[in-house]
Structures are given as structure tokens and as C-alpha cells.
Chain A
């Protein structure tokens, strides 16, 4: 396919500029001190513009994606993988999310990270992340996608552990990487299976052969790839890293752990649509995992006190929603949700960052309250984000969430729908629990902190406002009318076989919409009652069902289980292998042979008596023995 040269340049620049930013900042950033952000931010801005340009291009060429094999990467045996890029409509959506949120986060960070000892390092890492993320979404083959995939994982590791002088941060970074590795394990095997089965890793090539793959193999491929997605998108049971990832600076949480990287799993599954769509079982697994994760995370979020943890679990829950959508066959709805989620969840995080900034680093909501007036910009933007998250008409979340639930219902997954509704209710509760605890009521902070509370600088609030606009409106813009919005048409070439649901305002669709809206509002009201009006109620409730409260607070004991089952047992087993097997069995055998030989030598020494007649006897005896043996051999 002949692709526009301008696109080639754009794609190359999109990928390379952040990399250049990373390298230059790493090398020279330290010398630039407080101005270290200039190069990376400028580059990211240009990149975002290019991303928008690319989106524009794909907007014009919806039916013929841009595919370009830049140069070969690995050529070995009969296999071949290349540095190849692909821009289709799905990529376009992702480009928008990544480009815009990425850029805004960079601006926001200028204010947020000011004065930090690792200022330049932070921007270097962020740029590296942008590079990897663009690589991930622009890749035209699984292997290159995996490169971006691991690259964002690395940046996540670096940025979570950015304050490596805190033990918790360095632990969390490592945990994120390792848990993701478990997913990558599956992803790698999935790639092997794809490669061995189809002989290529290029999306187009693989998908062309998707229908020829046997059902069993296909299921394995899907499940293995999905394992990767489970890790990256923090689905149960590999979700444990995401809450801990909040140890990183808040812009990181916004960019990586809400808006972009964690969506990579969803993106990848959507990208592999031709494979998944063929395997009903795989779809079912995706849906079940997503659904379970959604409600599971929501149950935990409801008791968390750390403002960022709440959002983190909310993110897990939202990601579960997306997988639920994909699994249920509501592909477009899933991506739709991803799209809007990026904006409002990113915003939510950035706002929380602003709150934390205002509170002088405090993250515990029990020590907040009453901030509504003190930091109004943050409050209003955060409110928008929260309402969008909860899914109240007409903000973004409403449209996407409703399409997902509608999709599940329409495909006959009533249980899933029900769980989704409950999740939506819980989401409303914990989102507004957070809002009420933070912004309403009286302030519970120390006097010292109180005096210190201030609105964030412009460089932080402007991005908030800029983000609030899409967070509020984008859902309606691209999603209207329901089930037939622009985004459906736009993504059609990607999800070529998806049938459009008919949406009837006065039919099932409308009813479902009403139910979900009602549930959301109910949730908000419950939060209002519990956390603003009758603040003693939650405690009593907790006292009534302590096991449930405890389980939720302790994150369903997942960390404890992980600590005991895989971590400690692996270490114990490794210890055994080392001190038991290596040292005693193998080396024991080796040294034992040596010692045995030495022992043998020592036993022989007494024969050497030093006495002449013994020696003479030895000679004679030896001679006789020889005669006997040789004679016996010849039977004489």
C-alpha cells in the first residue's frame, strides 16, 4: 500500500522526538536544573501536534490504514519481524488520548515536580514513556507492540520508583514490573504460538490467517495474549501492582496508570479483535475476568482512605468494565469507554494531585475536608471528572458506560449486566465518598497544614481545565446518538464484523439507560448520606459486618496471599535449591568424590610399611597373583 510520505515523517517523528527528548534530557538535563523541562515539554507538544495530524490523516483515510515497514528488525531462520508502523482508526483514537493527555501531563508536571531533586530525571522518564507508548500503539506487529509494551512497563517501573529513597516506592516499582512480567510470560508464549501457527507476527498477516487457525490453538493464543493484557491492564488476579503504583508522583498516576499505559491491554485485545472474535470461549473468559475485576475493585475502593488508592481501584474497576465490554462483544463500547475514561480518569488523578499538592503531600482523606472553597479550580474540575466517572447524564462517562451495559444486556449476558449495574452503583458511592470527604465538611487537617493550603499554580490548573472540557463533553460528541455515534462509524473498519445494536429510546435501550442513571444517582445520594449527613453510619456498618469491612480494607487479602503463596514459597524453594541441592548434593558429590579418592590414597599408605621384607613379600605376592590371574584367564 502506498502511504503518504508525510505520514511516514510524522510517524517517525512521533516515535523519535520523545526518544530524543529522553536522551538529551538524561545527558544534559542535570546541567539545566530547573529549566530541564523545556526540551522534553517542547518535544512532547510537537509530538502531540503530530499525533493530531496523524489522527487527521486517518480521519480522512478511514478505510485504508497506513502501514509501513520501515526496516527489518529480526531476521532469523524462517522468521522475520520488522520495525513497522500502522495507523488505523483504532490507533487514531489512541493517538489522540496519548498525545493530548501526555502533553497536558507534561505541562502539569512542570508545576507539580518543581523543586524536586530529580526534576530532569522525571522529564526524561516521561519522554521515554511517551516514546514507548507511541511505539506500542503504532506498531504493526506483535513483537514491536511488545517492545512498546515492555518499554512502558519499564517507565512505569522507573516512575513508580521515582523517589527511590522511599522503600515503599522502590518496592512498588519492582512489584509493578514483576507482576507485569507474569503477564508478559503469557504474552510471549502467545506470540510464539501466533508465530509458529501463522509464520508471522504482523497484524495484517496474522489476521488474514485468523480463520484458518484451529479452534484449540486459537483459544490458547487468545488466552495467552489475554494473560498479557491482564497484567498490563491490572485485571484480577494481576491487579495488585496498580494500587501500589500510586507511590509514584501523581502526574505519573494520571498519565500512565489511568489514561494510557493501563489501557494497553484493552488496546491489544481490541487490536487482536480478529482473533478473539473467532473464539467464543476466549471472549467469555475476557468478559468474566473483566466483570469480576470491575466489581471486585469497586468493593475495595469503597473503603480506601488514601485518595489516590481510591482512584486506583476505580481505574481497575473501569478497566474491568472495558474488558467486560470487549468480552461481551461490545467492542466499540469498550474502546469508547477507554477513550473517555482516559480523559476523566486522567483528570481525576491530576486533580487529586492538585489536592495533595495543596495539602502539602497529605493523601489520607480522613485528614482532608472542606477544600471546596480553598481550591476552587481543582474542586470544580474534579467534580466534573467524578460525575463523568459515575456516569451521570450528560457527561462523558454516561454514554460509554451505558453502551457497555446495554451491550451486555443485548447479548444476553444478564448477570453481567446486573453486576455492571451494581458496580456502577458502587462506583458512584466511592467516587462521591471521595468527593464529600475531600471537599465538603469541615477541615480535619492539622493547623500547620491548614495554613498552607493553596490553589495550585497556573501551570497545573490550566491543564486541569483543558482536560475537563473533553472529560465533560467528548462522550456526547462522539457517542451521540447511542449505538450509532461517530465513534461507531469511525471504528467500523477495525471491528469489521461487529453488528450494530439498534437503540430505542423508548425500548430496552432507554429503559436500561434510565436504570443505570437512577442507580448512579442513588449511589451519589447514599454517599451523601453516609459521608456528609450521618457520618457515624459507616462505622456502625463496618462494625456490623467486620469481616466484610476488613476484607475490603485489606484489599481482599490479595497482597497477603501473594506474599505467602508465590513469593515466600519461591524464595524458600530457591533457598533449598541453593543451600540444599547446589551446595550439598552437587558439590557434595563433587567434593565427595575428591574426598573418597583422598581417603583411598590414605588407606593405601599403611601398605607402604617402610620395611624391606614386606616389600619383598609384596613383590612375590604380586608375582604369584599375576601368574594365577593370567593362568586363570587362559584356563590353565
Chain B
């Protein structure tokens, strides 16, 4: 395997861990953390590609910068929603939000 493949494998692993966290954890805070993990996994991939992929012109680095910014915004919004919900319902367990279904 080329170095890039290793990096991509790492990214993939981290991404999967993050995804597993989203699926498995009930605490919304942890879920948000997992989401961040997923984004950062992609960041690793992007930087790695930019570094190792021929002719990639380094756009990946640029991309990852954007992603970092967006991730921050995302967390902000997410936590805001969690807090608002906590005020209303006194819980951060996302299982408790299943009033609407079917």
C-alpha cells in the first residue's frame, strides 16, 4: 500500500469510530463529539490526499481549513439546540426525543 492508502485507512477508521459513536451513544453531547470526530477524520484524509496525491494542487489543505471552520459553527449550533432542549425537557438523552414518529 502506498502511504496515501495508510492515511486513508486511518481516516476511514476514525470516521467509522465517529459514526459508531453517533449510532451507539444516547447522550447528545457525546454524539456531537462523535460528529466532530467524523469531520476531523475527513480532514486527515483531505490533508493526506493533498500531500500524497499527484497533481492534487494542495486544494485539500484549503478544504480542511474550511471544514474546521464549519465544524466549529456546527458544534455551536448543535450545543445551542441541546441547551434549548435541556431547558425545555431537562434531558440530553436523544432517546427522550421521540414524540413524533410513524
Query: CB-nearest residue of chain A relative to B22?
Result: A616
Chain A residues with Cβ under 8 A from B55's Cβ? none
Is the beta-carbon distance between B94 and A608 smaller than 8 angstroms? no
Chain A residues with Cβ under 8 A from B25's Cβ? 613
Residue among A605, A606, A609, A617 making CB contact with B23, cutoff 8 Å: A617
Q: A610 in the interface, Cβ–Cβ < 8 Å?
A: yes
Q: B74 in the interface, Cβ–Cβ < 8 Å?
A: no
Closest Cβ of chain A: how far from B32's Cβ, in Å?
12
Tally chain B residues at the interface, Cβ within 8 Å: 15
Query: CB-nearest residue of chain B relative to A623?
Result: B19
Is the beta-carbon distance between A609 and B101 smaller than 8 angstroms? yes
Query: CB-nearest residue of chain A relative to B102?
Result: A605
Is the beta-carbon distance between B102 and A610 smaller than 8 angstroms? yes
Q: In the bound complex, how far is the Cα of B101 from the Cα of A605, in angstroms?
A: 8
Q: A497 in the interface, Cβ–Cβ < 8 Å?
A: no
CB proximity to B under 8 Å, residues A585-613: 605-606, 608-613
Q: In the bound complex, how far is the Cα of B34 from the Cα of A620, in angstroms?
A: 15
Q: In the bound complex, how far is the Cα of B101 from the Cα of A610, in angstroms?
A: 4
Chain B residues with Cβ under 8 A from A608's Cβ? 101-102
Chain A residues with Cβ under 8 A from B99's Cβ? 610
Q: B5 in the interface, Cβ–Cβ < 8 Å?
A: no
| Complex interface bits, A51-87 against B, C-beta within 8 A gives 1, otherwise 0 | 0000000000000000000000000000000000000
Chain A residues with Cβ under 8 A from B31's Cβ? 612-613
Is the beta-carbon distance between A611 and B95 smaller than 8 angstroms? yes
Q: Which of A608, A611, A617 neighbours the largest number of chain B CB atoms within 10 Å of its CB?
A: A611
Q: B54 in the interface, Cβ–Cβ < 8 Å?
A: no
Is the beta-carbon distance between B22 and A613 smaller than 8 angstroms? yes
Is the beta-carbon distance between B98 and A611 smaller than 8 angstroms? yes
Chain A residues with Cβ under 8 A from B101's Cβ? 608-611
Is the beta-carbon distance between B102 and A612 smaller than 8 angstroms? no
Query: CB-nearest residue of chain B relative to A610?
Result: B101
Q: In the bound complex, how far is the Cα of B101 from the Cα of A606, in angstroms?
A: 8
CB proximity to B under 8 Å, residues A610-628: 610-613, 616-617, 620
Is the beta-carbon distance between A620 and B94 smaller than 8 angstroms? no
Chain B residues with Cβ under 8 A from A605's Cβ? 102
CB proximity to A under 8 Å, residues B1-34: 19, 22-26, 31
Is the beta-carbon distance between B94 and A611 smaller than 8 angstroms? yes
Q: B100 in the interface, Cβ–Cβ < 8 Å?
A: yes
Chain A residues with Cβ under 8 A from B97's Cβ? 610-612
CB proximity to A under 8 Å, residues B48-102: 94-95, 97-102
Q: In the bound complex, how far is the Cα of B99 from the Cα of A609, in angstroms?
A: 9
Query: CB-nearest residue of chain A relative to B16?
Result: A620
Query: CB-nearest residue of chain A relative to B34?
Result: A616
Is the beta-carbon distance between B100 and A612 smaller than 8 angstroms? no
Q: Which of B31, B98, B101 neighbours the largest number of chain A CB atoms within 10 Å of its CB?
A: B101
Is the beta-carbon distance between B102 and A613 smaller than 8 angstroms? no
- State whether A620 and B19 are in contact (beta carbons under 8 Å apart), knowing that A611-B95, A613-B24, A613-B26 are contacts in the complex: yes
Chain B residues with Cβ under 8 A from A616's Cβ? 19, 22-23
Is the beta-carbon distance between A610 and B19 smaller than 8 angstroms? no
Q: In the bound complex, how far is the Cα of B99 from the Cα of A437, in angstroms?
A: 96
Closest Cβ of chain A: how far from B100's Cβ, in Å?
6
Query: CB-nearest residue of chain B relative to A605?
Result: B102
Q: Which of B23, B24, B25 neighbours the largest number of chain A CB atoms within 10 Å of its CB?
A: B23
Is the beta-carbon distance between A612 and B94 smaller than 8 angstroms? yes
Closest Cβ of chain B: how far from A167's Cβ, in Å?
61
Q: In the bound complex, how far is the Cα of B98 from the Cα of A606, in angstroms?
A: 12
Is the beta-carbon distance between A620 and B95 smaller than 8 angstroms? no
Closest Cβ of chain B: how far from A30's Cβ, in Å?
70
Q: In the bound complex, how far is the Cα of B100 from the Cα of A609, in angstroms?
A: 8
Chain A residues with Cβ under 8 A from B94's Cβ? 611-613
Chain B residues with Cβ under 8 A from A610's Cβ? 97-102
Q: In the bound complex, how far is the Cα of B24 from the Cα of A613, in angstroms?
A: 7
Query: CB-nearest residue of chain A relative to B19?
Result: A620
Q: In the bound complex, how far is the Cα of B22 from the Cα of A202, in angstroms?
A: 92
Q: In the bound complex, how far is the Cα of B94 from the Cα of A610, in angstroms?
A: 10
Closest Cβ of chain A: how far from B52's Cβ, in Å?
24
Q: In the bound complex, how far is the Cα of B34 from the Cα of A616, in angstroms?
A: 13
Chain B residues with Cβ under 8 A from A617's Cβ? 23
Chain B residues with Cβ under 8 A from A611's Cβ? 94-95, 97-98, 101
Known contacts A613-B31, A616-B22, A620-B23; can you find 20 more A-B pairs with CB under 8 A? Answer: A605-B102, A606-B102, A608-B101, A608-B102, A609-B98, A610-B99, A610-B100, A610-B102, A611-B94, A611-B95, A611-B101, A612-B94, A612-B97, A613-B23, A613-B24, A613-B25, A613-B26, A613-B94, A613-B95, A620-B19
A-to-B contact residues, CB < 8 Å: 605-606, 608-613, 616-617, 620
B-to-A contact residues, CB < 8 Å: 19, 22-26, 31, 94-95, 97-102
21 contacts between A and B (CB under 8 A): A606-B102, A608-B101, A608-B102, A609-B101, A610-B97, A610-B100, A610-B101, A610-B102, A611-B95, A611-B97, A611-B101, A612-B31, A612-B94, A613-B23, A613-B25, A613-B31, A613-B95, A616-B19, A616-B22, A616-B23, A620-B19
Q: Which 7 A-B pairs have the closest CB atoms?
A: A610-B101, A610-B98, A605-B102, A612-B94, A611-B98, A617-B23, A616-B22
